[in-house]
Homo-oligomer: A and B are copies of this chain.
Amino acid sequence: MKKHIVVIAGDGIGQEVTAVGKQVLDAIATKYNHEFTYDTALIGHAAIEETGNPLPEETITKSKASDAILFGAVGHPKYDNDPSAKVRPEQGLLGIRKALGLYANLRPIKLFDELLSASSIKPEILRGADILFFRELTGDVYFGERGRTDDNNTAYDTMIYSRYEVERITVKAFEAAMTRRKKLCSVDKANVLESSRLWREVVQEIAPRYPEVTVEHQFVDAAAMLLIKDPCRFDVVVTGNLFGDILTDEASQIAGSMGMLASASVGDTTGLYEPIHGSAHDITGKGVANPLASVLSVALMLDISFGMKEEAEAVVQAVDAVLKAGFRTGDIAELSTPRDMILGTQAMGEQVLKALL
């Protein structure tokens, strides 16, 4: 197959980890006789520096014309510590999600056996955990009206959902549950928020269409607790943009490290694949970032956007093999890991490539 991929590396370690992701794509093309062509595009701080705009028009055009997007990360400490900055790297990421209608963010949380003891959570609690998050990605307080009033002394954001927005993500989550353990947990704060009450109403309305799926509703505070107390009770979780942001980062501890987690953002057009970790400026340029989240993002791309199940599985197997062989990046190393098995970004990438051959 021929596929055209836009690589949007973005900021910080985004550059380093997507470089490995791209090598994995190349290896898959060679091995399975596909033809992958590439383009690059700017976003975030990198785009602001070059064009003044965190999301140049060209990035959207190139993305729309591609078959899939391999994304790195956005963000820069400079803006974080300056609450009054008008232009921010994150606007690039939020903007591209919106421009491409990427309303469903899939975040699979699954622990590789080899990492069972790398987590801060007890192995006996983690064993068997396998959660698929559906985080809504183009609504909620991320996109509602916001501003200042009262002479700049008051600030507000609007948490907002329409029935249609909740419906389409809920349907996707139910469809996924049907292919898995047939359990859906919807997370909201319906005991306080009106947008959550609409959310719950819609999930309740759709539920009867999937009589085989067991549905439960949890308040976000309880969900945040249960994820750590008993991760195995969850199968598919569907939730809004803000709650999904918080819960999936938290859930990264179930997978041993944030450096292991990939995500797929899909909607009506081109899918975007990115690690859930951020730009991590504290380790940028040191060559120590874990590239496996980007590699696993490639696996999601092959599976979801290209329908290449076998190729996707090969990538996951390669990651598994590398971990089984004992290789680790710093974030997933343990006290017992021999020093010469702790690899940098590029060396870890090479092990994955070797395992892929």
| Structural contact, A155 and B164, CB atoms closer than 8 A | no
Chain B residues within 8 Å of A191, by CB: 75, 79-80, 88, 90
* CB of A325 closer than 8 Å to a CB of B: no
Q: Which residues of A from 125 to 169 have beta carbons under 8 Å from B?
A: 125, 141-142, 144, 146-148, 150, 153-164
A83 touches B161 (CB 8 A): no
Report A83 CB to chain B, min CB distance, Å: 4
Q: Name the residue on B nearest A244 (C-beta).
A: B221
If A120-B229, A156-B194, A225-B258 touch, whether A201 touches B250 (CB-CB below 8 Å) is: no
Q: What is the bound-complex CA distance between A324 and B61, given in angstroms?
A: 66
Q: Assess whether A83 is in contact with B193, with CB atoms less than 8 Å apart.
A: no
Contact B249 A222 (CB under 8 A): yes
A148 touches B198 (CB 8 A): yes
Residues in B with CB closer than 8 Å to A84 are 197, 201
Beta-carbon contact of A94 and B192 below 8 Å: yes
Does A64 lie at the interface of the complex (its beta carbon under 8 Å from any beta carbon of B)? no
A228 within 8 A of B: yes
Q: Is A122 an interface residue (CB 8 A)?
A: yes
What 0/1 pattern do residues 50 to 80 of A give for CB contact below 8 A with B?
A: 0000000000000000000000000100011
Does A253 lie at the interface of the complex (its beta carbon under 8 Å from any beta carbon of B)? yes
**Interface check A200, CB cutoff 8 A:** yes
Q: B217 and A155: CB pair below 8 A?
A: no
Residues of B within 8 A of A192 (CB): 90, 94, 141-142
Interchain CB contact under 8 A, A154 and B160: yes
Residues of the B chain whose Cβ atoms lie less than 8 Å from the Cβ of A230? 120
Number of interface residues of A (CB under 8 A): 67
Q: Is the C-beta of A81 less than 8 angstroms from some C-beta in chain B?
A: yes
Query: Complex Cα distance A248/B222, Å?
Result: 10
Q: A residues 88-140 with Cβ under 8 Å of B?
A: 88, 90, 94, 120-122, 125
Most central of A155, A164, A217, A221 by chain B CB within 10 Å: A155
A246 close to chain B: CB less than 8 A: yes
* A253 surroundings in chain B (CB, below 8 A): 225, 228-229
For A120, list chain B residues within 8 Å (CB). Answer: 121-122, 125, 228-230
A185 to chain B, nearest CB (A): 14
**Chain B residues whose C-beta falls within 8 Å of the C-beta of A217 in the assembled complex:** 80-81
Instruction: Write the nearest CB–CB distance from A233 to chain B, whole angstroms.
Output: 12
A84 to B198, CA, bound (A): 9
A153 — which chain B residues lie within 8 A by C-beta? 162-164
Listed A/B pairs (9) with beta-carbon separation below 8 Å = A83-B197, A121-B228, A141-B159, A147-B194, A155-B160, A156-B161, A157-B194, A189-B242, A250-B250
Q: A residues touching B (Cβ–Cβ < 8 Å)?
A: 75, 79-81, 83-84, 88, 90, 94, 120-122, 125, 141-142, 144, 146-148, 150, 153-164, 189-195, 197-201, 204, 217, 220-222, 224-225, 227-230, 242-243, 245-250, 252-253, 258, 278
Q: Which 8 A-B pairs have the closest CB atoms?
A: A155-B198, A83-B197, A221-B249, A224-B250, A146-B194, A156-B160, A120-B125, A228-B253
